[in-house]
Amino acid sequence: MKSTTLILLLGLGTGLILAGSAAAAFTGISVETQPNEFGILTYRVYAEFTDPDDRLLSVYGTPEAPLEIEVVGGVFFQHAFGTDRPPSQALIEVFPSLAFDTFVTIGLSQVDGTDAMMLMPGWPGFGASHLDLTDNGWLVTPGQQGVPDVNGRVLLGQFSTTDGGAFFGRFTIQTVSNGMPIIAGVGFCSDPGAPCFTGDLNLDNMIGIDDFLLLLACWGPVDGGDPACVFADGNGNGAVDVVDFLTLLANWTTLATPPLCDDVDADLNDDLVVGILDLLIWLTCKGSVSQECLAIADIDGNGSIDVNDLVLLLANWGPCP
């Protein structure tokens, strides 16, 4: 086995930082409210794409970049007949408020048949007000769910509360964009009128070149009539200056391509194809410290079988001689 360690995130404390960069059709994270007659504050969170052939593969957290989704000032609404997956249409017809349950997903808001999404082994479920994952998440295999809808979006979760006032989240996603596997550290909050992260001036829940250009356009004393320039003055000193520029750079969201076949051996059963059999081996071995599992499924060679190995496996899906 080749020993190449994949560092997914270099930091995610005050912003979003990933190693490497790549052009991709993934354009950000959006949040949409779901008004209803039950008094349930409900938000749907989407990954946004410009290419209809792109895919969302997984959403997860690692020890270096934990997944954190929380209700601010309250608890999640979790329906008595709901699960952590999308509800079924048949049950919604009997219990209409079930449509506003809290759940995670890859593309589906309701289930009328097969749901190809998998919760990773050891899935802890939602706490009262937090979902915290450091080696876990949810996924589909390439070629299944995760295709953008007519609006170019893939739903990755619905979060609801009856007593909270807002939501906040940060996590890592894995996509296929422009035919290449991509990982990105992203996040969201439920205030569409203000940035969730310092430096996100165009409110797309990522920090990139568009934000940089907006900052340059606002350089100098802040005009209080321009919200983007107010946001650009991150330290509130009345001017967009070098401190704000350095803060934006420190929080820059870059996209990374995981190592591919030439650098890692993701073909766990040596049949020259990375596919469902390899995924089953990973599912069986995840978290194991047995020498047999470590010899087979520790793709990145870091001494543990974790979500990083899954990312490499999905990135190399298909023929991998």
Between residues 250 and 176, which one has the greater pLDDT? 176
CB within 8 A of 284, min separation 6: which ones?
A: 293
Q: Phi-psi region for residue 125, left (φ > 0), alpha (ψ -120 to 50) or beta? A: left
Least Cα distance to 167 among 199, 202, 192, 201 occurs for: 192
Q: Is pLDDT at 17 greater than 50 in this prediction?
A: no
Query: pLDDT tens digits, residue range 125-155?
Result: 999 999 999 999 999 999 889 999 999 999 9
Cα–Cα distance measured from residue 186 to residue 183, given in angstroms and rounded to the nearest whole number: 10
Amino acid of residue 58? S
pTM for the model: 0.86
Question: Contact 110/89 with Cβ under 8 angstroms?
Answer: yes
Q: How does the average pLDDT of the chain come out, rounded?
A: 88
Between residues 163 and 192, which one has the greater pLDDT? 163
Q: Is pLDDT at 13 greater than 60 in this prediction?
A: no
Question: Contact 157/175 with Cβ under 8 angstroms?
Answer: no
Question: What is the signed CA dihedral for 207, 138, 13, 224, rounded to 10 degrees?
Answer: 40
Q: Is pLDDT at 190 greater than 90 in this prediction?
A: no
The pLDDT score that the predictor gives to residue 24 is 55
Mean pLDDT over 71-97 rounds to 96
Q: Is pLDDT at 10 greater than 60 in this prediction?
A: no
The pLDDT score that the predictor gives to residue 32 is 94
Mean pLDDT over 275-292 rounds to 95
The pLDDT score that the predictor gives to residue 254 is 66
